[in-house]
Structure 1
Amino acid sequence: MPWYVLLAALAVLLILSAFFSLSETSMMAINRYRLKHLAKEGHRGARLTSQLLLNTDRLLGVILLGNNLLNAAAATLVAVIVSIFFGHSDAALFIGTVGVTFAILVFSEITPKVVAAAYPERIALASSYVLTPLLKVFSPVVWFINLFVKALLILLRLKPQNEDLTQKISLEELKTLVLEAGHFIRQKHQSMLLNLFDLENVTVDDVMVPRGQIEAIDLEDDDESIRDQLLTCYHTRLPVYRGAMDNVTGIIHVRKVLNQMRSENITAVTLEKIMREPYFIPSGTPLFSQLQLFQENRERVGLIVDEYGEWMGLVTLEDIVEEIIGEFTTHAPSQAGNFLKQEDGSVIVEGSNLLRDLNRKLGWNLPLGGPKTLNGLILEYFQDIPEAGTSVKIAGYPMEIIQTQDRVVKVVRIFPPLAPIEEKLPDSYAES
């Protein structure tokens, strides 16, 4: 055969080998979730690619069979060309070997695989139209080769399994996918999705309103006091108790009570007729589970009780929704403005603040594994009730106790970790 025909045949072999390299890399690098979506949309190339990836061993078998066969043919053809021009010269054969190796690496391996890694979807879908019939034609050969492959894997005690087209991912990996999808998901939507993922790790204890901060109606009060409390209350639903807060008897909807005021005076007996039975929630219930329970039981307010049946606090449907989308409702005057930023960078906060709220509103990183409130965190550290003026550093945050009252820490000044605090803290500053 003329030398130019041999060179043309060599070029064709390198091009065909490049096709198999393109196919191999693109098939392994294609986004499986995107592929599944395209297959559901009816894309024929996506369906063919999905079928090929269901049997990875057979797919790799036909690709590597073609790739290695073509590379070996190219090397043999170079040897023939060298023998035609230079005879049986060892030096010419060595140079030819180096040359064909360089050509295979550049034109048939590295360049095609780099291109396939950059555009896996486009190349994989197109190559599936060629690989599918090739796999049917060479199926007996691939099956025969895979017999030896399986025997070798058995000797090595390896049992690879065909992975599902859409591999399972962990929750942390899913969070990473949401964060990486910045071009497709708005930042606000990303925050909502991440908060939704965390609902299983957050319990009702983390978002509840402590019992000491709950406004409730005592049925043993006189009728005038009850009426004044209903007219001035901020909330739409109020717990009702008799004598002591531990003796909760029901929940009333203030709007129904105000409608009742048009026709008759409101008394304790009237409240007992229109109130609903209290809905109790065990302490430690995950927020996501409680959200479903609220929906199933058609409730909006629940009272949290511990393992001894003691009433700990209250949680509402709005509290859970705010954990997902952020704050959107107005708060009672007693709950608004409960921290004050100072010019020196410190923040004056109430001890009753939830640690989760402080972390979320101020961007802090106070520990959440133990106590739920700032007061509880400080008392746990001291194992006692500290006096006003005492300073301490907890989790890297310098704190100064400003006011204590009734066995609780009422007001605390917290300094940011990076602020120049040495000259601002009193001499009694202590570091944990």
Structure 2
Amino acid sequence: MHPSTIIQLFTIILLILLSAFFSSAETALTTVNKFTLRSMADNGNKRATRVLKLISNSDKLISTILIGNNIVNISASALATTLTTNLFGSKAVGIATGILTILILLFGEITPKTLAQNNSVKMSILYVDVVRFLVYIFTPFVFIINKISHVIFWILRMDTNGSAKSITEDELITMVNVSEEEGVIENKEKEMITNVVDFGDSRVRDIMIPRADVTMVSVTASYDELLKQYMEVPYTRLPVYKDSRDNVIGILHVKDLFFYKATHDINNFDVAKIIREPLYVYEFQKTNDLLTNMKSSSNSIGIVLDEYGVSVGLISMEDLIEEIIGDIKDEYDDAEHNNIVKIDDTHYSIDGGIKLDDLNDALDLDIESEDYDSIGGYIIQLLDHLPSVGDTASDGTISCKVTKLDKKRVSRVLLEILPQPDTDNDDGNA
């Protein structure tokens, strides 16, 4: 065999290997997990830092790799055609082209891309310096090609400036669920992460204590009346109202009450002199914004106002924290005040004030109401009148029986999850 023929054969093999390099580099650098790279970079891996910088300009990176891959593939095809013509004549060119196509597909595309996808981090780290050098070399060509492609995109009215988010909330929740299923994180950790994500979308109204459930004291109350009130409730701070519960003017701390007695004559007691300025909160304010405000101030309780400036509820730092880590039990909590008490697999005793979203999450339900936030309000919607003890309402998926009222407010409900028809069997029998 002539030496030139051997050189041409080795050159073709080299070009196929280069095709494999470009194909694997493309797959590795476009599918690599950025979070893994960021973790490695934070731990001092300089190559990971260079990979992150390289893939940040995806247009330039992809253009460079595609230019290189096309150059080697076209060169291999041209060289194979020349070699075949010299050895076997022009009639064998078609066969040689078919063989070369199979070789490039197997060894220049499919195999390297599969390997790169399964080892994207390792191969990205391995390739980064070589690809960075190629990006530098091909910069003039990439610039021209990108300009031409942008003109084409403009003609086709395609927006190339919008950058897609690296991960959406739904994708994050899916990752967390999969991690919990595979044992990477525990169930409690999954719940906390999910709560943190949901926390950013919550409004104050979603988690506040309604005004009907808030213990308040009048600005005209005497010292002994206030002391008696504090002895009856498990709170250290109480809202103080003037004229009506719609007008909350301050917060009274129990320690201020005791300090007053030590330094003043309680016969001349005036609660207005020792109350603290309240933090007023709009009912539709985002909970994460409120948490930030409370952290930067000395207020741990907020008075929730509606659009007319009327107090509609109360929210505390504890309420916000419980949205993330779950209920915080203390010595005053007992079974009677549990929001949900399981009786059996389909029956539950629930608090009438529990939010529909919380109930849906706890029992995997899908209750929705545009007018009411709580299960008590939902029962009123179904009945279309104020309920009495013993009234039952159903929407086809659940049945709710009012078991306890606090004045006119639904205090306790017996909820039954109703059996649903098997839609799969119905479809199969149709």
TM range (shorter): 0.7 to 0.9
In structure 2, how many angstroms separate the alpha carbons of the residues matched to 1:350 and 1:329? 16
In structure 2, how many angstroms separate the alpha carbons of the residues matched to 1:230 and 1:154? 70
Unaligned runs of at least 5 residues, structure 1: 421-432
8 Å Cα contact 2:397/2:420 also seen in 1: no
- 2:312 paired residue number: 312
Q: How big is the shift at 1:102?
A: 1.0
CA shift in 2, pair 1:360/1:59, >3 Å: closer
Alignment partner for residue 67 of structure 2, among 65, 68, 82?
65
Query: Over aligned residue pairs, what C-alpha RMSD do you find?
Result: 3.7
Letter in 2 for 1:20: F
CA shift in 2, pair 1:108/1:397, >3 Å: same
Q: 1:381 aligns to what SS in structure 2?
A: helix
Q: How big is the shift at 1:402?
A: 3.8
Q: How big is the shift at 1:299?
A: 0.7
In structure 2, how many angstroms separate the alpha carbons of the residues matched to 1:216 and 1:147? 68
Q: How big is the shift at 1:12?
A: 2.0
CA shift in 2, pair 1:111/1:255, >3 Å: same
- 1:88 paired residue number: 89
Instruction: Using the aligned pairs only, state the percent identity.
Output: 28
Q: How big is the shift at 1:149?
A: 4.4
Q: 2:337 aligns to what SS in structure 1?
A: coil
In structure 2, how many angstroms separate the alpha carbons of the residues matched to 1:249 and 1:48? 58
In structure 1, how many angstroms separate the alpha carbons of the residues matched to 2:281 and 2:264? 34
In structure 1, how many angstroms separate the alpha carbons of the residues matched to 2:340 and 2:44? 57
Unaligned runs of at least 5 residues, structure 2: 422-430
Equivalent residues in 2 for 1:11-160, closer than 5 Å: 11-35=13-37, 38=40, 43-50=45-52, 52-53=54-55, 55-83=57-85, 87-88=88-89, 90=91, 92-143=92-143, 149=149, 152-153=152-153, 155-158=155-158, 160=160
Letter in 2 for 1:11: I
CA shift in 2, pair 1:29/1:316, >3 Å: same
Q: Which moved more, 1:228-237 or 1:136-145?
A: 136-145
Q: 2:245 aligns to what SS in structure 1?
A: strand
- 1:295 paired residue number: 295
Q: How big is the shift at 1:258?
A: 3.9
8 Å Cα contact 1:217/1:239 also seen in 2: yes
Q: How big is the shift at 1:229?
A: 2.9
Q: How big is the shift at 1:107?
A: 0.7
Q: 1:73 aligns to what SS in structure 2?
A: helix
Letter in 2 for 1:98: G
In structure 2, how many angstroms separate the alpha carbons of the residues matched to 1:337 and 1:55? 54
Q: How big is the shift at 1:216?
A: 3.0
Across the two proteins, how many residue pairs are aligned to each other? 416
Q: Write the deviation string for residues 54-107 of structure 1: whole angstroms up to 9, x where unpaired.
A: 55444334433332232233334434454455x3273x4433222111111101
CA shift in 2, pair 1:395/1:38, >3 Å: farther
- 2:375 paired residue number: 374
- After TM superposition, the score normalised by the length of structure 2 is 0.80
- 2:245 paired residue number: 245
Q: 1:415 aligns to what SS in structure 2?
A: strand
- 1:426 paired residue number: none
Letter in 2 for 1:195: N
In structure 1, how many angstroms separate the alpha carbons of the residues matched to 2:240 and 2:336? 21
8 Å Cα contact 1:367/1:395 also seen in 2: no
- 1:206 paired residue number: 206
- After TM superposition, the score normalised by the length of structure 1 is 0.80
CA shift in 2, pair 1:336/1:388, >3 Å: closer
Letter in 2 for 1:277: E
Equivalent residues in 2 for 1:171-250, closer than 5 Å: 171-180=169-178, 182=180, 186-218=186-218, 220=220, 224-241=224-241, 244-246=244-246, 248-250=248-250
CA shift in 2, pair 1:135/1:351, >3 Å: closer
CA shift in 2, pair 1:316/1:267, >3 Å: farther
- 1:385 paired residue number: 386
CA shift in 2, pair 1:109/1:258, >3 Å: same
CA shift in 2, pair 1:21/1:370, >3 Å: same
- 1:321 paired residue number: 321
Q: 2:417 aligns to what SS in structure 1?
A: coil
- 1:423 paired residue number: none
